[in-house]
Structure 1
């Protein structure tokens, strides 16, 4: 199953009639170029799970990405070729957390 399909499944599993009105996820472009990913998981079990910042190939222009947790959100930014790795980083972390699956 693709990372995008698994992310979609995770999102749908969080939707309860309320959560999706104030939380959710976004993928946007960066001007260097690249992608930014933000996943708000307030009100889910992930809110209380630790995450160690990940930084990969930051000294390259076309293979870098970084992922971190800030408050009730997962953030990632990276080169255009790394969008799938950024999504996979979130999915791997979220699936390893109790009560979660993607």
Structure 2
């Protein structure tokens, strides 16, 4: 449970750092559900320092039908889709990439 709270806190902190005091209902972070079942995560990167940064697509398929995830960037949006037990995993994939991309941009 602690890792889940830490991942969500880190995502909240990342989002807060991107905000400029104005809310744009067309951008931001969207978490939804799939009918497969599973989760979707969409993070608009267009007005962040991550826009245009390279991301290596991630596709993982485990042994059972619910054990999977797929992360990619399309049109400056980080998109992740996953089985019902992997929302924290795709958040962690995003955060690891965001931290590494920011670190590389600073050098």
Larger Rg, first or second structure (1 or 2): 2
SS of 1:32's equivalent in the other structure is coil
Structure 1 unaligned residues grouped into runs of 5+: none
The 2-side partners of 1:36 and 1:64 are apart by 12
Q: TM-score, normalised by structure 2?
A: 0.84
CA RMSD of aligned residues (A): 1.8
Q: Which residue is equivalent to 1:63?
A: 67
Structure 2 unaligned residues grouped into runs of 5+: none
Following superposition, the deviation at residue 44 of structure 1 comes to: 1.2
The 1-side partners of 2:53 and 2:70 are apart by 18
1:88 pairs with 2:85: no
1:10 pairs with 2:14: yes
* Residue 74 of structure 1, aligned match among 73, 78, 81: 78
Moved over 2 A (4+): none
The 1-side partners of 2:102 and 2:37 are apart by 35
